[in-house]
């Protein structure tokens, strides 16, 4: 499978990686969730070249993850905002952050605390079943090929 063909695969993870699967894009999304909106602010925080940043932002806009909103007319200046599609990536980013807090933090611990506004407590993301609300982990889920994808999906499921 070639990197530039990921978006054509019958696999939701491959299709997702085609849009958000590189380190700079994930860091742009992290910053979006931390309230960064302007090109210069992304550039300063990330230390990435203007060309690379422009490419990643353009891709996120083209795929409907971000949209541009003018904040100044003369000269035209735009900021980047998360769409509903972009906001739906929050659990993904939070899961990666939680994994990093658990397995990649140094002796000082997690660099950022995430506080649930409703109860005021520090929180960690938990995956739950959409039907019964029970917490689920890797060993609690069985993957089955969807009938609509036939053999294409069969090769994705081990076993």
**CA–CA dist 11, 121 (Å, integer):** 37
**CA–CA dist 9, 153 (Å, integer):** 10
The predicted model scores a pTM of 0.87
Provide the 10 A C-beta neighbour count for residue 42: 22
Tell me which DSSP letter residue 135 carries.
B
Instruction: Give me the tens of pLDDT residue by residue for the chain, a chain 159 residues long.
Output: 665 666 667 678 888 988 999 999 999 999 999 999 999 999 999 999 999 999 999 999 999 999 999 999 999 999 999 999 999 999 999 999 999 999 999 999 999 999 999 999 999 999 999 999 999 999 999 888 888 777 766 666 665
Token pair for 144:
């089955």
**Residue count (the chain):** 159
Give, in degrees to the nearest 5, the angle at Cα 129 between 127 and 131.
155
* Per-residue pLDDT tens digits for 41-74: 999 999 999 999 999 999 999 999 999 999 999 9
Domain 3-88 has CATH 1.10.10.10: yes
Instruction: Give the per-residue pLDDT at 111.
Output: 93
Instruction: Give the per-residue pLDDT at 52.
Output: 97
Provide the residue ranges of all domains of the chain, joining segments of one domain with +. Answer: 3-88, 91-124
Angle between helices 23-33 and 50-62 (to 10 degrees): 70
Q: Which residues pair with 81 in a beta bridge?
A: 67
Instruction: Give the per-residue pLDDT at 15.
Output: 87
Residue with tokens 């203007």: 50
Angle between helices 90-103 and 23-33 (to 10 degrees): 100
Instruction: Give the per-residue pLDDT at 3.
Output: 56
Instruction: Give the per-residue pLDDT at 12.
Output: 83
Give kind and range of the element (H or E) at residue 81: strand 77-82
């Amino acid at each position: 499978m070639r990197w530039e063909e990921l978006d054509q695969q019958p696999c939701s993870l491959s299709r997702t990686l085609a849009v958000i699967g590189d380190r700079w894009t994930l860091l742009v999304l992290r910053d979006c969730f931390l309230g960064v909106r302007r090109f210069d602010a992304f550039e300063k925080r990330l230390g990435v070249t203007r060309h690379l940043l422009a490419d990643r932002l353009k891709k996120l806009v083209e795929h409907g993850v971000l949209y541009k909103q003018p904040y100044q007319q003369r000269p035209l200046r735009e900021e980047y905002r998360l769409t509903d599609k972009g906001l739906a990536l929050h659990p993904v980013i939070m899961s990666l952050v939680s994994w990093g807090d658990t397995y990649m933090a140094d002796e000082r611990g997690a660099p950022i605390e995430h506080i649930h506004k409703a109860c005021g407590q520090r929180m960690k993301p938990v995956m739950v079943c959409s039907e019964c609300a029970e917490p689920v982990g890797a060993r609690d889920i069985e993957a089955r090929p969807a009938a609509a994808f036939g053999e294409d999906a069969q090769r994705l499921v081990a076993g």
